[in-house]
A and B are shown apart, each in its own frame.
Chain A
Amino acid sequence: MLPLKDIRNGLMVAGWFVFLTFPLMVIKVNPVEKTIVWRWPNMLYVAAGSFIAYLYVKLAQKNKKAAILVACWTAYLALPLIRYFMYQDISILIWDTTTSIYAAVGAFHMILTLCLFHKHHILRKILSGIWLLFIGTPVVMLLAQAAGKILLPKIPAALHFLTPFIITIEHIQFWNWIRILWVALACYLLYSSLQTYLASKRNIMPDHLTNEPKIRWSQYLYKRPVYLPLLTFCSTFFLLFPHLFSTYQVNIMISALMYVVLGLGLNIVVGVAGLLDLGYVAFYAVGAYSYALLNMHFDLGFWVVLPIGGILGAFFGILLGIPVLRLRGDYLAIVTLGFGEIIRLVLENWNDFSQGPSGISNIDRPPLPGVDLSLEGSIVYMYYLTIVMVIFTIFVVNRLQDSRIGRAWFALREDEIACQAMGIDKMKTKLTAFALGATWAGMVGVLFAAKTTFVNPASFTFLESAIILCIVVLGGMGSIVGVIISALVLILMPEYLRAFSDYRMLVFGAVLVIMMVFKPRGLISSVRRTYTINDETL
Chain B
Amino acid sequence: MVPGIVAFTGKFFPHSFTLLRNVADIMDFFEPDYFIELLFSGLTKGAIYALIALGYTMVYGIIGLINFAHGEIYMIGAFTALIVSTVLSIYGFPLLAIFILAAVAAVVWASAYGYTIERLAYRPLRNAPRLSPLISAIGMSIFLQNYVLLAQTSDFQPFPALVPDFAFMEPVAHIVGSTDLVILVVSVIVMILLTVMIKFTRTGKAMRATAQDKKMALLVGINVDNVISITFITGSALAAIGGLLIASHVGQINFYIGFIAGIKAFTAAVLGGIGSIPGAVLGSFILGLTESFATGYVSSDYEDVFAFSLLVLILIFRPAGLLGKSTIEKV
Inter-subunit contact B158/A32 (CB<8 Å): yes
Inter-subunit contact A352/B12 (CB<8 Å): yes
Give the distance in Å from the alpha carbon of A505 to the alpha carbon of B150 in the complex: 11
Indicate whether B309 reaches chain A with its CB closer than 8 angstroms: yes
Residues of B within 8 A of A503 (CB): 146, 150
The answer to whether A335 and B311 touch (CB under 8 A), given A330-B274, A506-B146, is yes
Give the distance in Å from the alpha carbon of A516 to the alpha carbon of B129 in the complex: 10
The answer to whether A28 and B147 touch (CB under 8 A), given A334-B270, A512-B135, is no
Indicate whether A338 reaches chain B with its CB closer than 8 angstroms: yes
The answer to whether A20 and B312 touch (CB under 8 A), given A31-B160, A297-B7, A337-B263, is no
Chain A 322-338 near chain B by CB (<8 Å), digits 1 or 0: 01101110110111011
Indicate whether A469 reaches chain B with its CB closer than 8 angstroms: yes
Indicate whether B329 reaches chain A with its CB closer than 8 angstroms: yes
Indicate whether A217 reaches chain B with its CB closer than 8 angstroms: no
Inter-subunit contact A474/B309 (CB<8 Å): no
Indicate whether B105 reaches chain A with its CB closer than 8 angstroms: yes
Instruction: Point out the residue from B82, B113, B153, B327 that lies within 8 Å of A20, measured CB to CB.
Output: B113
The answer to whether A470 and B147 touch (CB under 8 A), given A323-B316, A477-B129, is no
Inter-subunit contact A25/B151 (CB<8 Å): yes
Inter-subunit contact A31/B86 (CB<8 Å): yes
Give the distance in Å from the alpha carbon of A27 to the alpha carbon of B87 in the complex: 9
Residues of A within 8 A of B128 (CB): 516, 520-521
Residues of B within 8 A of A495 (CB): none
Inter-subunit contact B120/A513 (CB<8 Å): yes
Inter-subunit contact B266/A334 (CB<8 Å): yes
Chain B 209-232 near chain A by CB (<8 Å), digits 1 or 0: 000000000000000000000000
Give the distance in Å from the alpha carbon of A98 to the alpha carbon of B200 in the complex: 60
Inter-subunit contact A331/B319 (CB<8 Å): yes
Nearest-CB distance from B160 to chain A (Å)? Answer: 6
Chain A 1-28 near chain B by CB (<8 Å), digits 1 or 0: 0000000000000001001110111011
Give the distance in Å from the alpha carbon of A388 to the alpha carbon of B19 in the complex: 46
Inter-subunit contact A517/B80 (CB<8 Å): no
Chain B 266-282 near chain A by CB (<8 Å), digits 1 or 0: 11001000100000000
Nearest-CB distance from B36 to chain A (Å)? Answer: 28
Indicate whether B302 reaches chain A with its CB closer than 8 angstroms: yes
Inter-subunit contact B66/A470 (CB<8 Å): no
Give the distance in Å from the alpha carbon of A471 to the alpha carbon of B150 in the complex: 26
Main DSSP-derived SS at the B contact region: helix
Instruction: Point out the residue from B15, B266, B320, B331 that lies within 8 Å of A417, measured CB to CB.
Output: B331
Most buried by A among B1, B80, B146: B146
The answer to whether A509 and B143 touch (CB under 8 A), given A31-B160, A516-B136, is yes
Nearest-CB distance from A407 to chain B (Å)? Answer: 20
Inter-subunit contact B139/A324 (CB<8 Å): no
Instruction: Point out the residue from A29, A417, A477, A513 that lies within 8 Å of B121, measured CB to CB.
Output: A513
Indicate whether A161 reaches chain B with its CB closer than 8 angstroms: no
Indicate whether B304 reaches chain A with its CB closer than 8 angstroms: yes
Indicate whether B60 reaches chain A with its CB closer than 8 angstroms: yes
Inter-subunit contact B84/A342 (CB<8 Å): no
Inter-subunit contact B112/A506 (CB<8 Å): no
Query: On chain B, which size bracket covers the interface?
Result: 35 or more
Inter-subunit contact A417/B329 (CB<8 Å): yes
Indicate whether B125 reaches chain A with its CB closer than 8 angstroms: yes
Give the distance in Å from the alpha carbon of A87 to the alpha carbon of B196 in the complex: 59
Give the distance in Å from the alpha carbon of A324 to the alpha carbon of B312 in the complex: 8
Chain B 254-298 near chain A by CB (<8 Å), digits 1 or 0: 000001000100110010001000000000000000000000000
Instruction: Point out the residue from A16, A34, A517 that lies within 8 Å of B125, measured CB to CB.
Output: A517
Inter-subunit contact A521/B129 (CB<8 Å): yes
Indicate whether B142 reaches chain A with its CB closer than 8 angstroms: yes
Indicate whether B148 reaches chain A with its CB closer than 8 angstroms: yes
Indicate whether B76 reaches chain A with its CB closer than 8 angstroms: yes
Residues of B within 8 A of A42 (CB): 151
Indicate whether B4 reaches chain A with its CB closer than 8 angstroms: yes
Residues of B within 8 A of A29 (CB): 82-83, 86-87, 90
Indicate whether A198 reaches chain B with its CB closer than 8 angstroms: no
Give the distance in Å from the alpha carbon of A104 to the alpha carbon of B117 in the complex: 30
Instruction: Point out the residue from B11, B133, B151 that lies within 8 Å of A352, measured CB to CB.
Output: B11
Indicate whether A93 reaches chain B with its CB closer than 8 angstroms: no
Residues of B within 8 A of A34 (CB): 86, 89-90
Of chain B, the residue at the smallest CB distance from A323 is B316
Give the distance in Å from the alpha carbon of A16 to the alpha carbon of B87 in the complex: 22
Residues of A within 8 A of B116 (CB): 16, 20
Nearest-CB distance from B246 to chain A (Å)? Answer: 16
Indicate whether B96 reaches chain A with its CB closer than 8 angstroms: no
Give the distance in Å from the alpha carbon of A520 to the alpha carbon of B145 in the complex: 23
Of chain A, the residue at the smallest CB distance from B301 is A349
Indicate whether B30 reaches chain A with its CB closer than 8 angstroms: no
Inter-subunit contact A516/B60 (CB<8 Å): no
Chain B 94-131 near chain A by CB (<8 Å), digits 1 or 0: 00000000000100010011001000110011001101
Give the distance in Å from the alpha carbon of A105 to the alpha carbon of B304 in the complex: 45
Inter-subunit contact B125/A328 (CB<8 Å): no
Of chain B, the residue at the smallest CB distance from A513 is B139
Give the distance in Å from the alpha carbon of A328 to the alpha carbon of B328 in the complex: 11
Inter-subunit contact A505/B142 (CB<8 Å): yes
Residues of B within 8 A of A326 (CB): 319
Give the distance in Å from the alpha carbon of A29 to the alpha carbon of B98 in the complex: 15
Indicate whether A345 reaches chain B with its CB closer than 8 angstroms: yes
The answer to whether A512 and B142 touch (CB under 8 A), given A324-B316, A330-B60, is yes
Nearest-CB distance from A394 to chain B (Å)? Answer: 22
Indicate whether A40 reaches chain B with its CB closer than 8 angstroms: no
Give the distance in Å from the alpha carbon of A470 to the alpha carbon of B132 in the complex: 9
Indicate whether A248 reaches chain B with its CB closer than 8 angstroms: no
Give the distance in Å from the alpha carbon of A470 to the alpha carbon of B1 in the complex: 43
Inter-subunit contact A469/B138 (CB<8 Å): yes
Of chain B, the residue at the smallest CB distance from A518 is B124
Residues of A within 8 A of B8 (CB): 297-298
Residues of B within 8 A of A245 (CB): none
Indicate whether B201 reaches chain A with its CB closer than 8 angstroms: no
Of chain A, the residue at the smallest CB distance from B275 is A330
Residues of A within 8 A of B321 (CB): 331
Contacts A23-B105, A506-B150 aside, 10 further interface pairs with beta carbons under 8 A come to A31-B82, A34-B86, A276-B134, A324-B312, A324-B315, A334-B270, A349-B302, A353-B16, A506-B146, A513-B136
Q: List 15 A-B contacts (CB under 8 A).
A: A23-B83, A34-B86, A34-B89, A35-B90, A270-B131, A324-B316, A326-B319, A341-B308, A345-B304, A350-B12, A352-B16, A469-B131, A470-B138, A512-B143, A520-B128
A residues whose Cβ falls under 8 Å from a Cβ of B: 16, 19-21, 23-25, 27-32, 34-36, 42, 270, 276, 297-299, 323-324, 326-328, 330-331, 333-335, 337-339, 341-342, 345-346, 349-350, 352-353, 416-417, 462-463, 466, 469-470, 473-474, 477, 502-503, 505-506, 508-513, 516-517, 520-521
Closest 9 CB pairs of A and B: A512-B139, A509-B143, A352-B12, A520-B128, A509-B142, A338-B308, A506-B146, A29-B86, A516-B136
